[in-house]
């Protein structure tokens, strides 16, 4: 158990809908990263927050957004969902603001029908 | 843009054999990580390599880093079935603000047959 908690574990929804994925980092970790894993694209970095502030953006679509709250949990919002958004979404946390070892949650598997 | 390439992407081997997975990356980085992922599961950290020439070993797995060649290897000795998994290498991504997240290779899907 990495100490990173993600909910929900599984989510099935329809195209055009909006979902929110939640992540609680390890105790003491200030950095939260979101990654998308799909068969064709592999593990893609989406976005990084450190202590409530956005630090870096990766290949995150404009339909997706995220935030990190004062209690350090983070939410990833996915809107206007398309079939291609079906993937496993991982949250990872780290104690450092960048370059440190990442500890991954169990992931949220999103299926868009 | 940082690119991380692993090879092979698929590997089927027999128990008891040795093999090496290679990880090349395109830009300067002084930190490299190896992760293991079982099907449908999370990623588990295996090794953290923080300097040129670093070598880490855990059981039948040994990882090394050559920052000058931008190459890391993960060597499997006398493979056993329990090592079947997908192995990822990941390199620190440096942006204008300094060190940031990790860029992952596509992973090596390893199957070890009895």
Query: CA separation (Å) from B44 to A82, A102, B20, B34, B50?
Result: 30, 9, 19, 9, 18
Which H helix or E strand runs over B35? strand B32-37
> Counting Cβ atoms within 10 Å, is residue A97 exposed (0-12), middle (13-18) or buried (19+)?
middle
A contact residues 9-38, partner B, Cβ 8 Å cutoff: 33, 35
According to the model, what pLDDT value does residue B50 have?
Answer: 86
What per-residue confidence (pLDDT) applies to B92? 84
Residue A11: closest CA among A76, A68, A88? A88
Per-residue DSSP letter, A102: P
Reading chain B (114 residues) residue by residue, the pLDDT tens digits are 789 999 999 999 999 999 999 999 998 877 899 999 999 899 999 999 988 888 999 999 999 999 999 999 999 999 999 999 999 999 987 766 666 778 899 999 999 998
B111 touches A at CB < 8 Å: no
What residues form DSSP beta bridges with A76? A21, A66
Q: Taking the mean position of all CA atoms in its chain, how far away is CA B91? A: 10
- Enter the tokens of residue B20: 């090496």
Question: How do beta strands A108-112 and A10-13 pair?
Answer: parallel
Burial of A2 (0-12, 13-18, 19+ CB in 10 A): middle
DSSP run (H or E) holding A77: strand A74-78
What's the confidence (pLDDT) of residue A39? 84
| Residues 67-106 (A) with a CB less than 8 A from some CB of B | 90, 92, 96-106
How confident is the model over A6-14, as a mean pLDDT?
A: 97
> Does pLDDT of A28 surpass 90?
yes
**What number of other Cβ atoms are within 10 A of residue A56's Cβ?**
19
Q: Give the other-Cβ count within 10 Å of A12's Cβ.
A: 12
Q: How far is B25 from chain A (nearest CA, A)?
A: 15
How many Å lie between the alpha carbon of B64 and the closest alpha carbon of chain A? 17
- What pLDDT score does B70 carry? 93
């Amino acid at each position: 158990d990495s100490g990173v908690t993600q909910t929900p574990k599984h989510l099935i929804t329809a195209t055009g809908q909006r979902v929110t994925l939640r992540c609680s980092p390890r105790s003491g970790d200030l950095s939260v990263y979101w990654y998308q894993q799909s068969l064709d694209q592999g593990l893609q970095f989406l976005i990084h927050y450190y202590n409530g502030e956005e630090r870096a953006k990766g290949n995150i679509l404009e339909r997706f957004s995220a935030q990190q709250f004062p209690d350090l949990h983070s939410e990833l919002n996915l809107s206007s969902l398309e079939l291609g958004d079906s993937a496993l979404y991982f949250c990872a946390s780290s104690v450092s603001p960048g370059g440190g070892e990442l500890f991954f949650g169990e992931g949220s598997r999103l299926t868009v029908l | 843009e940082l690119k991380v390439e692993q090879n092979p992407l698929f590997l089927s081997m027999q128990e008891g054999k040795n093999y090496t997975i290679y990880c090349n990356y395109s830009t300067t980085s002084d930190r490299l990580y190896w992760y293991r992922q079982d099907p449908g599961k999370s990623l588990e950290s295996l090794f953290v390599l923080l300097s040129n020439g670093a070598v880490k070993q855990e059981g039948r797995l040994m990882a090394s880093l050559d920052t000058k060649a931008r190459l890391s290897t993960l060597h499997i000795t006398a493979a056993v079935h329990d090592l079947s998994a997908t192995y990822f290498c990941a390199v620190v991504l440096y942006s204008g603000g300094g060190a940031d997240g990790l860029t992952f290779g596509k992973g090596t899907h390893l199957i070890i047959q009895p």
